[in-house]
Amino acid sequence: MFKIGVDLGGTKIESVLLDDDLGVLKRKRVPTPYNDYSQILNSISSLVLEMSENIPNFSLGICTPGSISKQTGLIKNSNTQCLIGKPLKDDLETQIGKKISMENDANCFAMAEATLGVARDYSVVLGIILGTGIGGGIVIDKKLHSGRTNIAGEWGHHTLHRDGNLCYCGKTGCVETYISGPSLENQWKKLTGRSQCLTEILSDNDIGKRWKDDFLENFGFGLANVIDILDPDVIVLGGGLSNIDFLYVEGRKSVYDKVFSDLVDTPILKNSLGDSAGVFGACML
Ligand SMILES: [Zn+2]
């Protein structure tokens, strides 16, 4: 069956049409209407209409920037503010006149890499996003494991330091408040007094030892905790921070040192689909 995927991002909406062999037939992106819910619905609907021209039968998946409450069906935790509290899935199904599958960007990322990307030959896949926020998704034998209440894989809000940094989620010490891009920049500022973006910090030949050591320790504990519970066959990194090479060498060692096992060889790999993971993951839902 043909598959249509839509990736609703903060700045762009991208859509793709795949054939039976998962080949790309059509692809298009448009800017996301700024904070206007009904215009966002219209943009998605017209993209789907354009993709499905002369295609009688297709599946439709949508990747959203927030998660969908299993209890209410409403969008929560989205950085596209106008979506929060909206029944996006219901409204789109009504407007398009078709059943759709909808998942957050971390779950779509994991699906994409587990089916079409670097983790396609592995059974239990943990896909994690390291960027402005920290997310994660679990795919088992090409099927998304979203969990009883839709929060499986959300390791970004595991508590790393009980009395640590305050998180927007209301807790303190979440992984996200230590190893997301903005948190790492804050930490750098605290240590050096300098306001620099992550790219500048990393291109500094003399990256602060304390800053890097803390980063590696927090990355190590964060992922070791997940390995102890899930013991995945592979971990795939996505998001802006997945471009940091030392995470695959010193970062991996830091993780391995903290896992509760005498044998740890979990591959920690860089994604292979880049920014396209959302739209392909949406197709594979
Ligand atoms: Zn949190």
| pLDDT at 11 exceeding the cut of 90 | no
pLDDT digits (tens, 9 = 90+) for 46-66: 999 999 999 989 999 999 987
Tell me the pLDDT band of 255, cut-offs 50, 70 and 90. Answer: very high
Beta-bridge partners for 126: 138, 235
Number of other residues whose CB lies within 10 A of the CB of residue 217? 16
Q: What is the CA radius of gyration of the chain?
A: 19
Q: Count CA atoms closer than 13 A to 267's CA, side-chain side.
A: 13
Q: What is the pLDDT of residue 207?
A: 80
Q: pLDDT tens for residues 133-186?
A: 899 999 999 999 999 988 899 999 999 999 999 998 899 999 999 999 999 999
Instruction: Determine the distance separating the centroid of ligand 1 and the alpha carbon of 154, expressed in angstroms.
Output: 10
pLDDT score, position 161: 96
Give distance in angstroms: CA of 166 to centre of ligand 1: 8
Strands 234-238 and 124-130 come out as parallel
Per-residue pLDDT band for 72 (boundaries 50, 70, 90) equals confident
| Mean pLDDT in residue range 97-115 | 95
Kindly indicate the confidence band of residue 115, based on its pLDDT and cuts at 50, 70 and 90: very high
CA angle (203 as vertex; 198, 205 as ends), nearest 5: 130
Q: For tokens 């957050």, name the residue.
A: 104
Looking at residue 70, what DSSP letter applies?
Answer: T
Q: What is the mean pLDDT of residues 36-42?
A: 95
Q: Report pLDDT digits (tens) over 223-248.
A: 999 999 999 999 999 999 999 999 99
- Expressed in angstroms and rounded, the spacing between residue 223 Cα and the centre of ligand 1 is 16
Evaluate if residue 107 carries a pLDDT over 80: yes
Determine the distance separating the centroid of ligand 1 and the alpha carbon of 3, expressed in angstroms.
35
The reported pLDDT for the residue numbered 249 is 97
- Ligand 1 centroid, distance to 178 Cα (angstroms): 10
pLDDT at 77 over 80: no
Q: Biggest alpha carbon distance in the chain? A: 60
CA of 222 to the centre of ligand 1 (A): 13
The pLDDT value given to residue 168 = 87
Rounded mean pLDDT, 193-205: 89
Helix (H) or strand (E) holding 104: strand 101-104
Centre of ligand 1 to C-alpha 90, Å, is: 28
Give mean pLDDT, residues 11-30: 94
Predicted pLDDT at 62:
96
Residue 10 has pLDDT above 90, yes or no: no
- Summarize the confidence of residues 181-196 as an average pLDDT: 94
Going by C-alpha positions, the residue among 75, 135, 144, 148 that lies closest to residue 106 is 135
Cα-to-centroid distance, 172 and ligand 1 (Å)? 7
For residue 163, the CA-to-ligand 1 centroid distance in Å is 12
Cα-to-centroid distance, 262 and ligand 1 (Å): 31
Gap from CA of 25 to ligand 1 centroid (Å) = 40
167 CA to middle of ligand 1, Å?
Answer: 5
Alpha-carbon span 160 to 19, nearest angstrom: 44
Task: Spell out the residues 6+ positions from residue 30 whose beta carbon is closer than 8 angstroms to its own.
Answer: 12, 13, 43, 47
